[in-house]
Amino acid sequence: MAGKIFLNGKWVDRADAVISVFDHGLLYGDGVFEGIRSYGGRIFRLAGHIERLYDSARAIRLTIPYDPAALSGHVKASVRENALKDAYIRLVVTRGVGDLGLDPDKCPTPSVFIIAGTIALYPREYYEKGLDIVTVPTRRNVPEALNGRIKSLNYLNNILAKIEGKLAGCVEALMLTDSGFVCECTGDNIFGIRHGRLFTPPTYLGALKGITRDVVMGLAGSRGLKVEEVPFTRHELFTAEEVFLTGTAAEIVPVTKIDGRPIGSGAPGVHTRGLMAEFEKLVHREGEDAYAV
Ligand SMILES: Cc1ncc(COP(=O)(O)O)c(C=O)c1O
């Protein structure tokens, strides 16, 4: 991938986009990030991603060395610098360079980088037939230890679950809370539909407050679905009429089998397909134009 990467205020070539081995983002996963998309040169829900990044940073007492407007400007510029229309943008803020101890106060300057590239889309088949997912033994972090609301660089919990999902032959895996409630997938939020209710786990259980999750909850009313954020177990998914996942990269992807149980009819349901179509329209209608400067 050619193009320019934003690194601490400079636009550098990929080969020059390097971070110190003493950066606490690398040594300890001490940092925060966002995965953002642009469609046709328009950045979808940029303000929401920026707000979540600053919230994550505030929660770990990390001061981002730009104000939100300036950082949004750099995100837009990353799309332009790489002459992209449909892009996946990774925005990262690390604690910066320190010594080998944990102390974040020994890291005076956070590192900020933005990588914009083309997006590797899931195969069409996943959207047409739906995903087959499994519940993995690795439980989602308890929020009292590491709150899932913080989109931190510390993704080992999710990676362990991803490994277990892949070993079971699945591209996504369902993670439960320590007490056995449905939480989320390794990189996606989860929803079920039954009897006109659209239900998803509350974020206090440890799930990320997904941007796509918020969008879907906003679209539900137009389909006559009542949104409920409630704790539930796998049973509610096994007996749901429809299940789907949401995420910036995946968008809305139907789930048609969980732990060997076909969901509903075993094919993507009418509401899921309707929401996918609404979402598709929305991403092309909304968004901040990266090229309007
Ligand atoms: C653990 C986790 N849950 C959910 C999501 C979906 O969030 P969003 O819709 O903001 O991409 C992500 C995506 O980054 C994630 O990593």
Portion of the chain with pLDDT greater than 90, in percent:
97
Let me know whether 15 and 136 are in one domain. no
Q: What average pLDDT does range 16-36 have in this prediction?
A: 98
Of 118, 137, 154, the last residue of a domain is 118
- Burial of 47 from C-beta contacts in 10 A (0-12 / 13-18 / 19+): exposed
Give the nearest ligand 1 atom to 35 CA: 14
* Pocket-forming residues, ligand 1, beta carbon under 6 Å: 35, 158, 184, 187-189, 208, 210-213, 246-248
At 46 the pLDDT is: 98
Residue with tokens 């998309």: 37
Answer yes or no: is pLDDT of 3 > 80. no
Classify residue 293: in a domain, yes or no.
Answer: no
Q: Which of 4, 76, 151, 162 is catalytic?
A: 151
- Residues 234 and 96 placed together within one structural domain of the fold: no
Question: Ligand 1 centroid to 188 CA: how many Å?
Answer: 5
Is 166 marked active-site?
A: no
Position in ligand 1 atom list of the atom nearest CA 211:
10
In the listed set 99, 118, 137, which residue is the last one of a domain according to the structure?
Answer: 118
Are 74 and 131 part of one and the same domain? no
Q: Are residues 95 and 131 in the same domain?
A: no
Query: What is the C-alpha separation between 19 and 26, in angstroms, rounded?
Result: 9
Question: Quick check: 97 and 18 in contact, CB under 8 A?
Answer: no
In a domain, 289, yes or no: no
**pLDDT tens readout for residues 39-57:** 999 999 999 999 999 999 9
Does residue 45 share a domain with residue 29?
yes
**C-alpha dihedral (247, 251, 254, 255), degrees to nearest 10:** -20
Confidence grade of residue 2 (pLDDT, cut at 50, 70, 90)? low
Boundary residue ending a domain (118, 135, 155)? 118
Strands 288-289 and 42-43: antiparallel
Instruction: Please tell me whether residues 136 and 189 are part of one structural domain.
Output: yes
Query: In the predicted model, is pLDDT for residue 5 greater than 80?
Result: yes
Q: What is the pTM of this model?
A: 0.97
For residues 106 and 129, membership in a common domain is answered with: no
Asked if 189 and 106 sit in the same domain, the reply is no
Give the whole-angstrom CA distance, residue 138 versus residue 32: 22
CATH number at residue 49: 3.30.470.10
Indicate if 158 and 245 belong to the same structural domain.
Answer: yes
Residue 291 lies in a domain: no
Residue to mutate, 119, 188, 190, 275, ligand 1, most ligand atoms under 8 Å from C-beta: 188
Is pLDDT at 140 greater than 50 in this prediction? yes
Domain count, the chain: 2
Do residues 208 and 149 touch, judged by C-beta distance below 8 A? yes
Query: What is d(CA 201, CA 18) in angstroms, rounded to the nearest whole number?
Result: 38
Please tell me the predicted confidence (pLDDT) of residue 1: 47
Rounded Cα distance, 199 and 243, in Å: 9
Taking only the tens place, the pLDDT of each residue in 216-266 is 999 999 999 999 999 999 999 999 999 999 999 999 999 999 999 999 999
Q: Please indicate, yes or no, if residue 76 is contained in any of the structural domains.
A: yes
Domain assignment present for residue 194? The answer is yes
Q: Which token pair is 269? A: 């349901």
Does the residue 292 lie in any domain?
Answer: no
One domain for residues 274 and 205: yes
19 and 102 belong to one structural domain? yes
SS (H, E, C) the chain: CCCEEEECCEEEEHHHCCCCCCEHHHHHCCEEEEEEEEECCEECCHHHHHHHHHHHHHHCCCCCCCCHHHHHHHHHHHHHHCCCCCEEEEEEEECCECCCCCCHHHCCCCEEEEEEEECCCCCHHHHHHCEEEEECCCCCCCCCCCCCCCCECCCHHHHHHHHHHHHCCCCCEEEECCCCCEEEECCCEEEEEECCEEEECCHHHCCCCCHHHHHHHHHHHHHCCEEEECCCCHHHHHCCCEEEEEECCCEEEEEEEECCEECCCCCCCHHHHHHHHHHHHHHHHCCEECCCC
Q: Mean pLDDT for the chain?
A: 97
- The pLDDT confidence band at residue 132, using thresholds 50, 70 and 90, is very high
Domain at 196, CATH number: 3.20.10.10
With respect to residue 290, please indicate whether it lies within any of the assigned structural domains.
Answer: no
- Domain interval for residue 205: 124-284
pLDDT of residue 121: 83
Q: Taking a C-beta distance cutoff of 8 angstroms, is the pair 130, 245 a contact?
A: no
Looking at the fold, whether 186 and 277 belong to one and the same domain comes out as yes
Give the number of the atom of ligand 1 that is nearest the alpha carbon of residue 148: 1
Cβ atoms within 10 Å, residue 145? 9
pLDDT digits (tens, 9 = 90+) for 263-282: 999 999 999 999 999 999 99
